[in-house]
């Protein structure tokens, strides 16, 4: 199953053991925009710092979690250059007016004729099938 993955999903699932199992599922082909992967890296680092300072996560545990999270992303998610989908961004912006920052994700899904893995309601009604984590887990029997 080919899916364009939203940065928010990637961040939250890369931090969870359950999520890393889904991200590595052999039936999934996961793709992401350059913009979304940049956001993912930034948010993963931010979340790890938060866990260390507010949840008293020991440095050694944070380092191990960081390594696991970044490795699962690097191993299982293909970054598609903006040049591949930029010509579809005007159409994508019309389809997702509530959050223009998500237009590249919609443009990539349009290009690939793929569904989007997201829990973000802003994608609803954009004319592209979406999968939530819950429904994807049911589909994959995980």
- Please write the tens of the pLDDT for every residue from 91-120: 999 999 988 999 999 999 999 999 999 999
- Please write the tens of the pLDDT for every residue from 5-41: 999 999 999 999 999 999 999 999 999 999 999 999 9
Residue found under tokens 């938060």: 50
Q: What is the reported pLDDT for 2?
A: 98
Burial of 33 (0-12, 13-18, 19+ CB in 10 A): buried
Query: Which domain, by its residues, includes 15?
Result: 2-140
55 pLDDT tier (thresholds 50, 70, 90): confident
Q: What is the pTM of this model?
A: 0.92
Domain total in the chain: 1
Residue 126: CA atoms inside 13 Å, Cβ hemisphere, count? Answer: 33
Rounded to whole angstroms, what are the CA distances from 62 to 22, 103, 112? 21, 32, 36
CATH of residue 89 = 3.40.50.1010
């Amino acid at each position: 199953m080919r899916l364009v993955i939203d940065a928010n999903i990637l961040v939250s699932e890369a931090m969870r053991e359950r999520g890393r199992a889904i991200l590595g599922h052999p039936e999934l082909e996961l793709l992401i925009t350059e913009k979304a992967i940049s956001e993912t890296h930034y948010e993963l680092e931010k979340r790890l710092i938060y866990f260390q300072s507010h949840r008293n996560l020991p440095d050694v545990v944070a380092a191990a979690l960081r390594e696991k999270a970044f490795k699962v992303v690097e191993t299982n998610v293909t970054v598609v250059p903006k040049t591949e989908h930029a010509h579809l961004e005007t159409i994508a912006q019309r389809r997702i007016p509530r959050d223009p920052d998500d237009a590249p994700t919609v443009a990539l899904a349009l290009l690939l004729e793929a569904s989007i893995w997201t829990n973000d309601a802003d994608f609803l009604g954009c004319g592209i099938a979406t999968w939530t984590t819950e429904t994807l887990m049911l589909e994959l029997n995980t």
